[in-house]
Amino acid sequence: MLSRYLNAFDPFLDPQEEIDEERVNYAAKRLNISVEDVRRRYQKLAQQFHLKLNFITAI
């Protein structure tokens, strides 16, 4: 989820760039998982890697 093309190889995402709704949708489609699951995964990764998240979280 942290590589640009979601393949676990370089190039990796810049941790200073925001992960936005467009990235969430891209990851969901590419990985064939729900948008909600992608958001949860990025939220968990953000705690460990200090990522900047900029997407709407479902309540």
* Whether this model's pTM surpasses 0.85: yes
Task: Write down the pLDDT at residue 56.
Answer: 77
The mean pLDDT of 1-13, rounded to a whole number, is: 96
pLDDT at 58 over 90: no
Taking residues 8-35, report their average pLDDT: 96
Residue range(s) defining the domain that contains residue 51: 1-59
Cβ distance 12 to 4 under 8 Å? yes
> Which whole number is the average pLDDT over 13-26?
96
Is the pLDDT score of 28 beyond 70? yes
Q: Closest Cα partner for 1 from 48, 57, 56? A: 48
What is the tally of structural domains in the chain?
Answer: 1
Residue 59: pLDDT over 60: no
